[in-house]
Structure 1
Amino acid sequence: MSYLHSIFAQSPEIALFLSLACGYWLGKVYFGKFQLGGVAGSLLVAVLISQAGVAIDNGIKSVLFALFIYAVGFESGPQFFRSLGRHSLKEIAMAAVLAASGLATVIVLARLTGLDKGLAAGIAAGALTQSAIIGTASAAIAKLQLAPAEIQTLQANVAVGYAVTYIFGSLGAIIVCVNVLPWFTGRSIRDDAMKAEAVLLAGSRIYGVGEQPAAPDLVGRLYRVNALAGKTVSEIERLVPGLTVERLKRGGSIIGLNPNEILQLDDVILVVGRRAAIVGAVPSLGTEIETSDGMDLVMVKRDAAITNGEIIGHGVKDIADRTTNGVRHGVYVLGLNRTGKPLPLEPDTVIKAGDVVTLYGTADDVQRAAKIVGPFILPSDKTDFVYHGAGIVAGLLLGLLVVRIGSVPLTLGSGGGALLAGLAFGWYRTRRLTIGNMPTGASTLLRDLGLAGFVAVVGLQSGQQAVSTIVDSGLTLFFVGVLVTTVPLLITMIFGRYVLRYDNTAVFAGALSGSRSANPAFGEVLEKAGNSVPTTSFAITYALANVFLTLLGPLVVALA
């Protein structure tokens, strides 16, 4: 043990990454149908490693958590602001019920077991994973009409209760939100997340890396002209709407293509268009051939942000009309979305500033079309650190603000500030898509490393003290903490299912973890969901929980 201590003293980061590696390995192991997951596994391994003695700077924990919560907010900003309204009343009720049931559980157990005000407040802070309760409870204890020595003892007991219960406060929330809740609802988080995402995508399909449809909407075919001989290119395109002639070969040579070019017998043409249009016109197009030298053509698909004031406020049909005369030869509108949500490609769908249109055609044609529609949104593996650095700074500054209600200080903290900044900067990016790029891989790394690293640091910092306190004082404090962690969650879960009528397990899990400000549990919920569906409900309840749970400190001191 002394050998490990000397290694960790020289390089505490070894303890951090060892916790992550072993924790994620442990998290993959199934115990029956139960699986810990990487976050919970990292926490348990970190507690074990902490027994060797690890001194790790608290700033690391703050940085990792800020990265995690900002990335979550940035990904979910557009969806979050779309969801605000009367639908948010369910989340407000969830956060209020959990805070009230948490307070009642702490008071009842404190009186049954004879805990003093300091231990009761510390258990509330640790079991409900709301560190701000330490501050509000300590301030309330200082105002009690007691001897200075007694006040000091009670304030010290706040830290003791917190240390003993915080670790299970994180682990228990994961178990309830990720394992108990799906069992209770009878549906998996993943299935319901996919269902909700399908609704948000309006029935469209988002393909992953390496995936493509077996029968694509746009196709290209080569034909040898026979019955079409004598017709011009423009006549053919009018005859078969949804089809364009992209290349012409005559007598073994590629010739320039223009709308008035008259096709001759045995010409080879490359046509591109909607699959339905080409399939329907096959008998009249000529004899299809497999290949012909020089007839290959590279097509591109590009997203463009609509900024042209002459298009904004008009229907989708205006995009096609304005990219037809003199510009379009084969430019197709594949899709239209607003703040990440696909819109129907109906002629009367009204375009708004910031909408994104997906164009398909040759590079030159699409480039010319973009000059009319708006600038390209080019995919990039580079992260805009200017934008996101400013976002995190803004969030951390916001977290420094303190509002006092009487003698109770309320603050968002670095986590709440970074979350709100991420939501705001994520939403603003949908209005200015040429800035603020963050590739999916980068965002995923921030979320996964940020959360698991934060939890591991918590285990490394608190594990040794928590275990020694349990050994010294018996298991009473620990078991009280277990009940304070699980009972309010179970009460709120039942309330959400039968009173609020949550019918989507992924959304329900996000709301439940947020109402307990249970960030590790939310990280596991996101992992199970495989998308950002749970984030909106989490963001609302998380913001409220930071206020409601912080207020519990003085209430526990007054009532315990």
Structure 2
Amino acid sequence: MDWIHGVFHKSPEIALFLSLAVGYYVGQINFGKFQLGGVGGSLLAAVVVSQVGVTIDSGVKAVMFAVFIYAVGYDSGPGFFNSLNRKTLREIAMALFLAITALITVIVCAKLFHLNKGIAAGLAGGALTQSAIIGTAGDAIARLGLPADQVKSLQSDVAIAYAVTYVFGSLGAIIVCVNILPKFMGQGLREASVEAEREMSGGTSTMGPGQVAALRELFGRAYRVDVADGRKVREIETGERDLIAIERITRGGKSVEPEPEVILRRDDVVIVVGHREQIVDVARLIGPEVSGSGETGLVMQTRQGVFTAKGLNHHTIGEIRDQVDRTLRHGVFIDAVTRVGQPVPVLPGTKLEHGDVITFYGTAKDTKRAVETAGYELPYSIKTDFIYMGVGLVLGLLIGLIVVNIAGIPLTLGSGGGCLLAGLVFGWMRGKHPMYGVMPPAASRLLQDFGLAAFVAVVGLNSGLQAVETVKQLGITIFLLGVLVTLLPLLLTMVFGRYVLKYNNAALLAGALSGSRSANPAFGGVLDKAESAVPTVPFAITYAIANVLLTLLGPLVVGLV
């Protein structure tokens, strides 16, 4: 073992990347339907590797956590700020209720069982599967003014308690949201989703994430004019409730602009684009369908725009369509909507929020007009704007240095809270002005995954030797307390949502509850059972708020225990 210790001493980064590789391999192993995950696996792997003896510079930990927490805030910013309004008070109340009950539960457990600040914070992080608490709590501990060895010991305890309680923290959320909640509501998740879709759109179905319809909703077909001879373009389109659009007319080998008042002539070849339900029956209005050819071919495209239109925030798709002039909406179809990276059902009753990304389908001219009307085009780029990101991180770290004394108690956000706040603001500004601050989703995901996993691995490597001793002393106690902290806030919030907030639909309540715990595995289980994207609507709101509230539990637990 001495030679391994020698290698790690000369190149400690080898231990770091070894922990990540082994941790992510272990994390993807299935235990029934449960996976430990890359972060939890990296922490356990780092603790094992640390037994050889290795130390990583604390500066690495600080940098990794800063980029991780900034990226979390950046992604959550648009959804977080857009959620703070009177129309989403129910979702705000639910996320806030869960965070408060979780905080109270942790503090009561800490007082009754005499847990130190580190164990209590780690209990919160693992039982609530909020990995960022490890960083915010560790940062708060470092600012207590304690001796260096005591700070290191408490930070080690955070990681230990997190590792012991994380497994059931993830599994418990799945059990409550997927199994207990439908029985409590007396309504299956799939049945509830169908009911919600029916209320929003009169029965129109919606696709879940990753699902693709065998029969596309939007497409085009070519027809030879026969029965429509002498009719105007406008008459054909309005007769089908503007759910179809005549995009090209070919007459005698020459193209004719399909203006609303243009009169169709026999043997004209027209290309019609629109919704499947209407377009399959267009032949009876125009004439026989013909195969496409080079002279009638029409290129369609999708274009993404960020929804920022003034006066239309929180309006439904149906309401917006009715308010927009027909000449502006002609030939424009909504193919998809995402909110905070999550798909939102494209239904007439779906409310659009500023910051939503809308994918428009149509010709280049039509989609360009639609994007300009809706807000701003989302430019396609694979390059991260490091100027924007660098300024955000600098401001966040500067905010973290601010200390305010209240009644002799020094209060500070720390580097974690500062970078989270900066990420929220910069992400929100990016949503409003997408021409600045590009950070592709893949880049943001890398910063979050690598930043958090590396941070946790450094914690495990630097504190692993002490961790083993602490687990021997308190392991079963911490685990059982973790079960309590996992289940009690979820169950109380479920009852609060049903009887106080008046959630009457199981799918909507399950989405809101999993979002309030920022429990992605539980939300994945909800979507799987619901077979619909309907739970995404409340999830997107509560998830954005919970990501902030639960992350801030770290310094709150440290300060109150």
What range describes the TM-score normalised by the shorter chain of this pair? 0.7 to 0.9
**Equivalent residue, structure 2, for 1:476:** 473
| Worse overlay, 503-512 or 45-54 | 503-512
Amino acid at match of 2:556: F
Partner of 1:71: 71
Question: 8 Å contact 1:223–1:269 — kept in the other structure?
Answer: yes
Q: What CA distance in whole angstroms lies between the structure 2 residues aligned with 1:359 and 1:72? A: 27
- Whether 1:384 and 2:362 are equivalent positions in the alignment is no
Deviation at 1:75, TM superposition (A): 2.1
Summarize the alignment of residues 32-181 of structure 1 with structure 2, pairs less than 5 Å apart.
Answer: 32=32, 34-84=34-84, 85=89, 88-110=92-114, 120=116, 123-124=119-120, 130-131=137-138, 134=141, 159-160=152-153, 163=156, 165-181=157-173
Instruction: Note if 1:12 corresponds to 2:12.
Output: yes
Q: Identify if the C-alpha distance between structure 1 residues 79 and 308 changes in structure 2 by more than 3 Å, giving closer, same or farther.
A: closer
CA contact (8 A) 1:408 1:551 kept: no
Counterpart position of 2:326: 321
Matches of 1:32 and 1:304 in 2, distance apart?
A: 41
Match of 1:458?
Answer: 459
Q: Which amino acid aligns with 2:412?
A: T
Q: Which amino acid aligns with 1:432?
A: H
Aligned to 2:283: 282
Deviations 1:71-121 (A, max 9, x none): 2222222332344446545555544444444444444444xxxxxxxx945
Distance 1:184 1:318, change over 3 A: closer
Shift of 1:543: 5.3
1:551 aligns to what SS in structure 2? helix
Amino acid across the alignment from 2:364 = A
Q: Shift in Å at residue 44 of structure 1?
A: 0.8
Worse-superposed segment, 391-400 or 355-364: 355-364
Supply the AA of the counterpart residue of 1:168.
I
Opposite residue 3 of structure 2, the aligned amino acid is Y
Would you say the 8 A contact 2:302–2:360 is kept in 1?
yes
Alpha-carbon distance, 1:217 to partner: 3.6
The CA distance in 1 between the partners of 2:224 and 2:419, in whole Å, is: 62
Distance in 2 (alpha carbons) for counterparts of 1:295 and 1:58: 65
Partners of 1:202 and 1:342 within 8 A in 2: no
**Structure 2 partner of 1:439:** 440
Alignment of 1:148-547 (within 5 A): 159-160=152-153, 163=156, 165-184=157-176, 187=179, 205=206, 212-231=212-231, 237=237, 242=242, 243-251=244-252, 253-257=253-257, 259=259, 263-304=264-305, 316-323=321-328, 331-334=331-334, 359-367=360-368, 375-467=376-468, 469=469, 475-476=472-473, 488-489=485-486, 491-493=488-490, 495-497=492-494, 504=509, 508=513, 511=516, 533=540, 535-542=543-550, 544-547=552-555
CA deviation after TM superposition for structure 1 residue 228, in Å = 3.5
Report SS of the residue matched to 2:380: coil
Return the letter of the residue paired with 2:389: H
- Of the structure 1 ranges 293-302 and 31-40, higher mean CA displacement relative to structure 2 is found in 31-40
Q: Deviations over 1:329-367 (max 9, x none)?
A: x63242797976678658xx9999878765443224444
1:310 Cα deviation after fit: 11
Contact 2:301 2:363 in 1 (8 A): yes
Does the CA contact (< 8 Å) of 2:119 and 2:160 recur in 1? Answer: no
Q: 1:80 to 1:173 in 2, by over 3 A?
A: farther
Contact 2:73 2:422 (C-alpha < 8 Å) held by counterparts: yes
Q: Do the aligned partners of residues 298 and 307 (structure 1) sit closer, same or farther apart at CA in structure 2, a change above 3 Å counting? A: same
Residues in 2 aligned to 1:39 and 1:58: alpha-carbon distance in whole angstroms: 19
Deviation at 1:178, TM superposition (A): 0.3
Is the 8 Å Cα contact of residues 176 and 489 (structure 1) preserved in structure 2?
A: yes
Aligned to 2:559: 551
CA drift at 1:222: 1.6
Per-residue CA deviations over 1:281-303 (Å, capped at 9, x if unaligned) read 31231221223332111012223
Cα distance in 2 for partners of 1:464, 1:358 equals: 52
Mark the runs of 5 or more structure 2 residues left unpaired by the alignment: 125-133, 182-187, 500-505, 528-535
Deviates more, 1:333-342 or 1:446-455: 333-342
CA contact 2:303–2:361 (8 Å) conserved in 1 = yes
Which whole-Å CA distance do the structure 2 matches of 1:525 and 1:344 have between them?
A: 25
Segment drifting more, 422-431 vs 53-62 = 422-431
Deviations 1:493-529 (A, max 9, x none): 554455676975665466558xxxxxxxx68778878
Task: Report the count of equivalent residues.
Answer: 509
Q: Deviations over 1:13-70 (max 9, x none)?
A: 2222221221111122234555322221111111111122222121222222222222
Equivalent AA in structure 1 for residue 138 of structure 2: S
The TM-score, its normalising length taken from structure 1, stands at: 0.73
Structure 2 CA distance for aligned equivalents of residues 199 and 79 of structure 1: 22
Using the TM superposition, name which of 121-130 and 405-414 deviates more. Answer: 121-130
Contact persistence 2:221–2:271 (CA under 8 A): yes
1:163-200 Cα distance to aligned partner (Å, 9 max, x none): 3x3333111331232013333555399x989x99x989
The structure with more radius of gyration: 1
Q: Aligned to 2:396, what secondary structure does the other structure show?
A: helix
Distance verdict in 2 for CA 1:299–1:315, change over 3 Å: same
- TM-score, normalised to structure 2, is 0.73
In the superposition, relative to structure 1, how do residues 231 and 136 fare at CA in structure 2: closer, same or farther (>3 Å)?
Answer: closer
Q: Return 5+ residue gaps in structure 1 as ranges.
A: 111-118, 140-151, 325-329, 514-521, 554-560
Q: Write the distance in 2 (CA, Å) between the matches of 1:447 and 1:525.
A: 20
Q: Classify the secondary structure of the residue corresponding to 1:280.
A: coil
Give the Å deviation of 1:459. Answer: 0.8
- Three-state SS of the structure 2 residue aligned to 1:438 is coil
